[in-house]
Amino acid sequence: MDRFPVFLDLHNRPCLVVGGGKVAERKVDSLLNAGAALTLVSPEITAEMDIIISGQNVQHHARLFTDNDINGQFLVVAATNNPGVNAHIASLADARNVPVNVVNDASVGSFIIPSVVDRSPVTIAISTGGASPVLARQLRMRLETMISPQCGELAGITEEYRDIVKKRLPEAQRKTFWEQALKGTFAELVYAGHEDDARRLLDEMLAAYPNGKTMGEVYLVGAGPGDPDLLTFKALRLMQQADVMVYDRLVSKSILDMANQRAERIYVGKEKANHAVPQDKINDLLVELAKQGKRVLRLKGGDPFIFGRGGEEIETLAENGVPFQVVPGITAASGCSSYAGIPLTHRDYAQSCTFATGHLKDGTIDLNWAQLSQPNQTVVFYMGLTGIEVISQKLQAFGRSGDTPAALIEQGTTRNQRVHIGTVATLPQLVKDSGVRAPTLTIVGEVVNLHDKLHWYEPQRHVIASEFSRNPPVEA
């Protein structure tokens, strides 16, 4: 470790910044946010700097730096545009054992200022030791998206309860208690902005711990159409903290691999006429697991509420008093059409869009064909391969032209995506000739004509790009 990381308490401590330009703006802003009593030395300052220091605990000396400016300072930042002046300031500070940072030159001075993720009181600092400030900023941006803005509130509530927990639980039990609390419903309530409910739950957990039986929770999470990069941040967070994962056939291995590797895995995939576990048994399983106190991830392809039977599952959970969360996912219609370059709506071709299932609960395809056959709309059929002949015949019988463009999108958004273009009349033959297999989405409408012009996704090229985005090279 080339640099020793440390967090300084700067509240009301005297700190000096020399320089009034753009680089100095960032340093002054950060020091003021940390509560420093700041002295700013610079003959001129930017308009933005003037706004930053207005009304703040800052003494501005509109002149050049003098050696005596360092006297009595707790920390110094040299941020002028003159390397010689910066080096002189650093040598003076070093001689007085005062920590000094020289902007844009890590080789001079005694400390560097890292990129910071601020979720006060939670603070995360990232440094490359001056080797690559750009990389440090990129890493900070990644962490900004991964860490909830409510993380600071979570830390604040746990601080409130530290003494209470110490009084109620012996030392050997405290760590386990907090680990359970910070991975479960308590934390999720805070992340959702329900701090009062979170405190009530924490009180109940303390009263019951360790002998009381705590109810678990079910996370009904949409895994999207296939590409792992389309997962939401909330979905990923819940996936990584689950105790048990109940998942469907359409959830790809690459997405499963992103879940908690220690979680128990239960496959309940369903295919036509081949249900690994009947739906009512799945509903009961979720209830049973939650009542055992487990955090249950119910992972579904696409979106749980769009032909995902998520509504049936949470009905059962609600009836049994099991707490649950629903995390929407990008539904297949949106994801697959986007990756195929087929906009679902377009002012010139389609002023509405309808999602329909090609396989009803009773096994029929008894749909509102008159409505589905209206012009100037896009119709997306889920699970329509088996009944593709009926779909083709009914649309034409109710007035949709057989020449209407149609597309089959197979394994959309994945590296195995294939797009097959035809018409309403040729759909049955297209299925036979292409050998297309589930999961496949069927899109009907004039917007399909835009595929040749707008298709952008080349699976193999994007596999390489995706790997690059997850493992970027170190920048110079």
What integer pLDDT is reported at residue 473 of this predicted model? Answer: 39
Number of domains in the chain: 4
Beta-bridge partner residues of 60 = 40
Angle at 33 between CA 153 and CA 79, to 5 degrees: 145
Cis amide linkage into residue 43, ω under 30° from 0: no
What are the tokens at 26?
């960032």
CA-based torsion, 270, 275, 277, 280: positive or negative: positive
What integer pLDDT is reported at residue 56 of this predicted model? Answer: 94
Cα radius of gyration rounded to whole Å, the chain? 30
Residues 194 and 101 in one domain: no
93's CB contacts (< 8 A; 6+ apart) are 70, 73, 76, 99, 100, 109, 110
What integer pLDDT is reported at residue 271 of this predicted model? Answer: 62
| Angle (deg, nearest 10), helices 195-208 and 151-168 | 30
Q: In which domain, by residue range, is 47 found?
A: 14-113
pTM greater than the 0.75 cutoff: no
Would residue 406 count as lying in a domain? yes
What integer is the mean pLDDT of 137-150? 88
What integer is the mean pLDDT of 398-404? 97
Residues 325 and 219 in one domain: yes
Higher pLDDT, 364 or 216: 216
Instruction: pLDDT band for 41, please (50, 70, 90 cuts).
Output: very high
Over the stretch 338-353, which tens digit does the pLDDT of each residue have? 999 999 999 999 999 9
Among 312, 330, 348, where does a domain finish? 330
Is 303 annotated in a binding site? The answer is yes
Is 332 annotated in a binding site? The answer is yes
Higher pLDDT, 272 or 465: 272
Q: What are phi and psi of 262, to 5 degrees?
A: -90, -5
> With 80 as the cut, is the pLDDT of residue 128 above it?
yes
Residues 243 and 191 in one domain: no
Q: Residue 363's domain is classified under what CATH number?
A: 3.30.950.10
Q: Residue 320's domain is classified under what CATH number?
A: 3.40.1010.10
Residues 309 and 338 in one domain: no
Cβ 312 vs Cβ 283: under 8 Å: yes
What integer pLDDT is reported at residue 357 of this predicted model? Answer: 92
Would residue 30 count as lying in a domain? yes
What integer pLDDT is reported at residue 22 of this predicted model? Answer: 94
What integer pLDDT is reported at residue 179 of this predicted model? Answer: 86
Is 215 annotated in a binding site? The answer is no
Cβ 376 vs Cβ 400: under 8 Å: no
Instruction: pLDDT band for 467, please (50, 70, 90 cuts).
Output: very low
Q: What are phi and psi of 246, to 5 degrees?
A: -110, 115
What integer is the mean pLDDT of 21-41? 95
What integer is the mean pLDDT of 166-180? 89
> With 90 as the cut, is the pLDDT of residue 209 above it?
no
Instruction: pLDDT band for 274, please (50, 70, 90 cuts).
Output: low
Residues 251 and 274 in one domain: yes
What integer pLDDT is reported at residue 80 of this predicted model? Answer: 96
Residues 322 and 345 in one domain: no
Q: What are phi and psi of 383, to 5 degrees?
A: 55, 45
Residue pointed to by tokens 């193999």: 460
Would residue 92 count as lying in a domain? yes
Q: Which strands form 244-247's sheet, in the order they lie side by side?
A: 264-267, 244-247, 295-300, 217-222, 324-327
CA dihedral 77, 81, 82, 88 (to 10 degrees): 0
Instruction: pLDDT band for 2, please (50, 70, 90 cuts).
Output: confident
Among 315, 330, 345, where does a domain finish? 330
> With 50 as the cut, is the pLDDT of residue 95 above it?
yes
Cis amide linkage into residue 439, ω under 30° from 0: yes
Cα–Cα distance for residue pair 369/177, rounded to 1 Å: 57
> With 80 as the cut, is the pLDDT of residue 193 above it?
yes
Residues 338 and 450 in one domain: yes
Cα–Cα distance for residue pair 302/336, rounded to 1 Å: 10
Percentage of the chain lying above the pLDDT 70 cut = 94
Instruction: pLDDT band for 167, please (50, 70, 90 cuts).
Output: very high
Higher pLDDT, 276 or 402: 402
Would residue 120 count as lying in a domain? no
> With 50 as the cut, is the pLDDT of residue 241 above it?
yes
Residue 48: Cβ within 10 Å count: 13
Range of lowest pLDDT (5-9, 178-182, 412-416, 438-442):
178-182
Is 141 annotated in a binding site? The answer is no
Among 214, 232, 250, where does a domain finish? 214
5's CB contacts (< 8 A; 6+ apart) are 114, 125, 127
Q: Residue 77's domain is classified under what CATH number?
A: 3.40.50.720
Residues 202 and 219 in one domain: no
> With 60 as the cut, is the pLDDT of residue 5 above it?
yes
Is 44 annotated in a binding site? The answer is yes
What are the residue numbers of the active site?
248, 270
Cα–Cα distance for residue pair 39/207, rounded to 1 Å: 51
Range of lowest pLDDT (122-131, 356-365, 443-452):
356-365
What are the tokens at 420?
């097959």
Is 331 annotated in a binding site? The answer is yes
What integer is the mean pLDDT of 316-334? 95
Q: What are phi and psi of 10, to 5 degrees?
A: -105, 5
What integer pLDDT is reported at residue 470 of this predicted model? Answer: 41
Residue 347: Cβ within 10 Å count: 6
Is 362 annotated in a binding site? The answer is no
Higher pLDDT, 106 or 416: 416
The three-state secondary structure class of 365 is coil
Instruction: pLDDT band for 464, please (50, 70, 90 cuts).
Output: very low
Is 23 annotated in a binding site? The answer is yes
What integer is the mean pLDDT of 132-144? 89
Residues 243 and 292 in one domain: yes
What integer pLDDT is reported at residue 1 of this predicted model? Answer: 78
What integer pLDDT is reported at residue 448 of this predicted model? Answer: 97
Cα–Cα distance for residue pair 22/138, rounded to 1 Å: 20
Beta-bridge partner residues of 197 = none
Q: Which of 81, 114, 111, 105 is nearest to 15 (CA)?
A: 111
Is 225 annotated in a binding site? The answer is yes
Residues 248 and 326 in one domain: yes
> With 80 as the cut, is the pLDDT of residue 474 above it?
no
Residues 349 and 411 in one domain: yes
> With 80 as the cut, is the pLDDT of residue 122 above it?
yes
Would residue 463 count as lying in a domain? no
> With 80 as the cut, is the pLDDT of residue 84 above it?
yes
What integer pLDDT is reported at residue 211 of this predicted model? Answer: 72
What integer pLDDT is reported at residue 468 of this predicted model? Answer: 34
Residue pointed to by tokens 């071709």: 349
Residues 416 and 341 in one domain: yes
